Structure 1
Amino acid sequence: MSPPEQRAARILVVDDEPQIRRFLEIGLRAQGYCVQLARSGQEGLEALALNGADLVVLDMGLPDRDGLEVLAALREWSTVPVIMLTVRADESDKVAALDAGANDYVTKPFGVQELMARVRALLRSRPAGEEGPAAYEYRGLRIDPARREVSVDGVAVSLTRKEFALLAVLARHAGRVVTQPQLLREVWGDSHSHDTHYLRIVVGRLRQKLGDSATAPRWLVTEPGVGLKLLA
């Protein structure tokens, strides 16, 4: 029996310059990758959520929002590897990109072979196949990770970045208990894995904004001493 055919890695390119998009599409397809193109930050986030990707090439300067903002929004619900493209040679900009969650960066202009080497290195370090999260909907609560929108019974709910990030993590694991240390690491970072008071504050605000109750939960269930669960 012949071995199963390996799926081509999927690369999402987010860049507003047509020449760069075309250059990258040709180069990546020549290496056997599946390529999806996006012209703006919002278009890129929606493409990732709807279609998934194994790696994202993200431009720092986009027409609708700064690349770092797009990266921050993406990191609220995805761990997909990201290579930032930047025309800025200043070291502080590169450090800012890495601190925001980028895995690597390439300064424009760049050679296609340099980029391909970085793509191969990141793909080798990660199992292929991260899927973008589907929108969560249950008992009137809807969470759309791509658009960063939350509504209850059709009415939009305004959440802070941390409130949304916490809800997005729970939605990704809907129906299962997510432990307190895991929530703290994913939302606040590794150095805050024991700061459970952060969770109490944010969960309290979430329940108030969603109209949920700790004693008779409609969506958010607390497992005392363990973690939280979003009903599904």
Structure 2
Amino acid sequence: MAETAQVRARIGKRWRRGGWLAAAALTLSTLAGTAPAHSAAPAQEVTLPLSQAIARLPVAVEDRTGYDRDREFGSGWTDEDRDGCNTRQEVLLAEAVTPPTVTGRCTLSGGSWYSWYDEQTVTATDIDHVVPLAEAWDSGAKFWTRDRRVAYANYLNDPRHLEAVSQRTNRQKADQDVAEWLPVESVRCRYLTYWVPIKLSWSLAVDTAELDALSALAADCPDSDITYTPVP
């Protein structure tokens, strides 16, 4: 489907970047033949229609007790592959419409980005967690280890997870879920096909208001296949 093609195109773009995704994809593709006998098998990719994916989401009451973004998810972007570019910079490089100039240890200047939340091309962006950190906490991340939460905050293995968007829309959205905030109408189906697989990949729950909103939105969207891979 068109949405799947868009995601795969972005995966290819990040592969050409030569950093984190190339290593991750190579590891996954060769793991079965090279891993020691005692290693766990890699998670299997799941593909199913959007309506079935929504039905698979666990439902639970959300609870923000104890949430502290910096303490629980880390106070800054990490540089997992130690190439000098942190998570924010990796996303900016991968999603640039006009590539920024890179100097020194990944200092970026210039460049432009297409903020699809509001269909604007911008030169100043925020990096949005499609499923916000506070929403993840409410939906089950409070029970994870801190290391897993930091990994969630910096996750680059799924190009749907982090988006370079206009500062205005990122700040309007804040930590709201789909029952509380949505991008412009023309891209809401796309937003849905990002939100749902992220929640499924990380085994995050939805509350009843969120589930109702997802179901109502999906009724106006193609019931196309979405793909996700559970994160171990």
Bin of the TM-score, shorter chain as denominator length: under 0.3
After TM superposition, the score normalised by the length of structure 1 is 0.23
Which has the higher Rg, Structure 1 or Structure 2?
1
Between Structure 1 and Structure 2, the one with more helix by share is 2
Between Structure 1 and Structure 2, the one with more strand by share is 1
After TM superposition, the score normalised by the length of structure 2 is 0.23
